[in-house]
Amino acid sequence: MKLTLEHLERMRIPELHHSCAMRAIPDSCEHKHTVQQYIDALEDNLSDGIGLLLFGNYSCGKSGLGSILLKAAASLGHIGLWLRATEIPGFYIDSTRFDDQLTVIERAIAVPLLVIDEVILFGDKRDWHFERLIRDRVGSRRATICTTNLTPQKFKSQYPAVAAVMQEAVIPIHVQGHDFRADIRDKIKHTLENTNG
């Protein structure tokens, strides 16, 4: 299926990540090959409800990979959804609408692939909403991709209940080896030098 802007917007992929592609990731990044293997078996992974925990430092491309995975699923006819983790409590509390038929949370539970970006732990009742969504998806065998700066060990020590549920259906992948924000900075600097020079 050929993806359109309408598809990207329906999945709620931020505009910044619309053009993200595997070819932009250097082959020297080990995670590129692991993620490509996941994409190569995407139909099976979606059917089995197997997701990924993409963890690593800032600027290494975790969010970009989330968009790449959503687009790969959509190209196979599986339209997913992108949520920022910090938005989830509000979506539950306010019953925010996705469209005329569904709330955002109902849509998030139902889609074949959900990306939850920038998972952080608040250490209060807001964490319960994230846990509830993860439990609903794992229980329904729906694949979930989470991006976070927390290592699996830190995640487990800070939030053992969710980590226990996630380990049933989420494979951790360490994303490292390239700074994409540095690329953007260098591109802007190069453009400014050419404009002013």
Residue 195 has pLDDT above 50, yes or no: yes
pLDDT tens-place string over residues 76-114: 999 999 999 999 999 999 999 999 999 999 999 999 999
Amino acid 135: pLDDT = 93
User: Distances in Å between the alpha carbon of 17 and those of 14, 34, 171?
Assistant: 6, 20, 23
Name the pTM for this structure: 0.88
Q: How many CB atoms lie within 10 A of CB 52?
A: 26
Crossing angle of the two packed helices 62-75 and 30-40, in degrees rounded to 10: 20
Average pLDDT, the chain: 89
| Of 186 and 18, more confident | 18
* Strand, helix or coil for residue 56: coil
Amino acid 168: pLDDT = 84
What is the set of domains in the chain, with CATH numbers? 5-196 (3.40.50.300)
Closest-CA residue to 63 (of 126, 119, 9): 119
* Burial annotation 16-45 (CB, 10 A radius, 16+ → b, else e): ebeebeeeebeeebebbeebeebbeebeeb
Please give the DSSP secondary-structure letter assigned to residue 57: S
Report, as an integer, the average pLDDT of 19-41: 95
